[in-house]
Amino acid sequence: MIDPLSEVIRLLRPRTVLTKAIVGAGAWGVRYTDFGHPSFAVVIEGACRLAVDGQPELRLQTGDFVLLPTTPGFTMSGFEPAAPQPTDPHAAAAAGPGEVRHGRQDGPPDVRILGGYFVFDGADAGLLASLLPAQVHVRDAPRLSTLVGLLIGEAALDRPGRELVLTRLVEILLVEALRLTPGADAPAGLLRGLSDGRLAQALRQMHADPARPWTMAQLASEAALSRSAFFDRFSRQVGAPPMEYLLSWRMALAKDLLRRQGLDIGEVAERVGYGSASTFSTAFSRHVGEPPGRYARQALAL
């Protein structure tokens, strides 16, 4: 059976990793503006505070792991009062790897963090990332700490196969972090939908056979719910009505096929559930804002 979470991670196509160490001592605080790219951090020793815009403040301690799929603005600080220093995350990323020290510049640190960021190379990264929690926080996560250590070690060396290893490690890191997140406590999105036993079956069927001409009645039957109960429950848990979610998933697949597979429009239409190229072209143009042929030519020219 198809695993929808793995399918989403596959289409996100995470790649490119930059890592660095962050150290804080005494009175310190730093305010990062919105970054947009996914980022992660693991606390190696000590503790600090993390306040991500729109999310409850966290007290991070040794062994904690945090993943921010879109990295909005956030403030990180120690526990002594200090005015957060404004920081441009793009400039910090451009500075490359290395250690950044905040607060007192000598003596032992109060906290040591290993963190980094990567990018999603998928054609529909914004849509797909919106299906994930805005903030993932895992307490005492030795497997995640091991993965971060492997990422940092691989990123620091220029060895054959480096990019492939980094990509696979990031994919594993994402899946491991997300499956350790309690789905029932996640915001509306894919994880929350998959944690619902009834909806999970319908979601798996959509992802396993997107070309099938699904109806609301068929999907409700997969979930063993009435049509109205299925519609309400799916909309509440996943954050979009069932047929809207299915359309978005089909269009994400279509974009990927047009960019990477070298298929003609008729073949793409068939693979994502449309009986003719013209019907698919109309739906694609309405959803994406341009015809599939033009989209494919522009993608191939990049």
Q: Which two tokens stand for residue 120?
A: 């999603």
Is 123's pLDDT higher than 80?
no
Give residue 126's pLDDT: 78
All structural domains of the chain with their residue ranges: 4-181, 190-301
Q: What is the pTM of this model?
A: 0.82
Give residue 302's pLDDT: 64
Instruction: Place 129 in a pLDDT band, splitting at 50, 70 and 90.
Output: confident
**Which of 74, 78, 85, 2 has the alpha carbon at shortest distance from 39?**
74
Residue indicated by tokens 């979930």: 223
Cα separation, 232 vs 234, in Å, equals: 6
Residues 6+ apart with CB under 8 A from 84: 29, 30, 31, 75, 77
The 8-class DSSP code of residue 184 comes to: G
Residues 6+ apart with CB under 8 A from 115: 19, 20, 21, 22, 39, 40, 41, 42
Own/partner long-range contacts of 94-99 (Cβ < 8 Å, ≥24 apart): 96/18, 96/20, 97/18, 97/19, 97/20, 97/155, 97/156, 98/20, 98/21, 99/20, 99/21, 99/22, 99/23
Residues 6+ apart with CB under 8 A from 9: 171, 174, 175
The separation between the first and the last C-alpha atoms of the chain, rounded to the nearest angstrom, is 34
Please give the average per-residue pLDDT across 196-207, as a whole number. Answer: 94
More confident call, 269 vs 187: 269
**Class in CATH terms, 190-301:** mainly alpha
Two domains, one topology: 4-181 and 190-301: no
Instruction: Place 157 in a pLDDT band, splitting at 50, 70 and 90.
Output: confident
Specify the range with the lowest mean pLDDT, choosing from 54-63, 120-129, 284-293. Answer: 120-129
Give residue 193's pLDDT: 92
Please give the average per-residue pLDDT across 77-106, as a whole number. Answer: 89
Instruction: Place 243 in a pLDDT band, splitting at 50, 70 and 90.
Output: very high
Q: Which amino acid is at 10?
A: R
Is the backbone of residue 300 left (phi > 0), alpha (psi -120 to 50) or beta? alpha
Is residue 102 within 8 Å of 30, Cβ to Cβ? yes
The architecture (CATH level 2) of 4-181 comes to Sandwich (2.60)
Q: Give the chain's mean pLDDT.
A: 90
Cα separation, 213 vs 274, in Å, equals: 8
Residues 6+ apart with CB under 8 A from 172: 147
